[in-house]
Amino acid sequence: MLQPRYQALTPPPRQIPGNSWLAYNEKVARRPNVPPMESFFHYLAPPSACGYLPDQLWSLEYEMVAGMEAREYEERLLAGWRRFGNILFRPRCRACRACQSLRVLAERFYPNRSQRRAFKANAGQVKLSIGPPAVSGPKLLLYDRFHAFQTSRQGWPEHPAKDAASYSHSFVDNPLATEEWCYYLNNQLVGVGYVDHVPAGLSAIYFFYDPDLRDRSLGTWNILCLLAEAAARQLPYLYLGYYVAGCPSLAYKSCFVPNQVLTPDGSWRDFRMERGING
């Protein structure tokens, strides 16, 4: 039987610009007078080496869009799409169906032992500020430090330093209203996440953090905050992107239970509903 949601897991204190949380929440959830989504181009990439499973080939379907409503993007999420900037994408592999969209049932979430440790390590110390996306020097530096660490330790491809224009293209100039979640420790920026608020959930887009503080498990802390906030807003789901069995770097997603995955027939099925041995 599922345990009730961990009672100590309440949203952390956060700063939100504007007159009230409700006003900002309404602004993010839907923008009035937005025309129907406009598609600039649609493209199916030829098969190439898979970024998740080295012995497989992948093929991704892309669509570049202009402004869209949160409702329109939610329809895409439910069909297995994700987005980065104004590019929507989903896997279209001929011989593999390993990529599965995963969502967590926010109100029923119960943390395991390692997640509770992350909560205790950061609660009351790491502060959260939620607002509209913007470029700043500290964010650029933090992003580059995070990627340099992932390149040296995890084998990520090298990339040039992020400048203001490329950062804006990736995270600021979005086709729908997007939230920027900034985390601070002793008034120093230590983590940045980008989140879409759709009618029935939150969707995590990207998160980067200070690699010198990896013992704090800031990635886990970010997801715990997202789950707590989704529950506080009475949103049933947190979308975490693709879970790929056999890909170690994505294994963490299935540890947030209970969760569901999207099947090839377009239906969502219960996946992992109980805590495992680390619970």
Q: Environment class of residue 16 by beta-carbon count within 10 Å: exposed (0-12), middle (13-18) or buried (19+)?
A: middle
Q: Which residues contact 141 (CB under 8 A, 6 or more apart)?
A: none
Least confident of 69-78, 155-164, 201-210, 228-237: 155-164
d(CA 202, CA 152): 31
Residue 6 Cα distances to 193, 229, 238, 271, 272, angstroms: 23, 13, 16, 20, 17
The fold of 16-32+99-270 is Aminopeptidase (3.40.630)
At 242-275, the pLDDT tens digits run 999 999 889 999 999 999 999 999 999 999 987 6
pLDDT at position 148 over 80: yes
pLDDT at 39: 77
Q: pTM (2 decimals)?
A: 0.88
d(CA 48, CA 256): 31
SS3 157: coil
pLDDT at position 38 over 80: no
At 77-135, the pLDDT tens digits run 999 999 999 999 999 998 899 999 999 999 999 999 999 999 999 999 999 999 999 99
Domain locations in the chain as residue ranges: 16-32+99-270
pLDDT band at 62 (very low <50, low <70, confident <90, very high): very high
Read off the tokens for 185: 């420790």
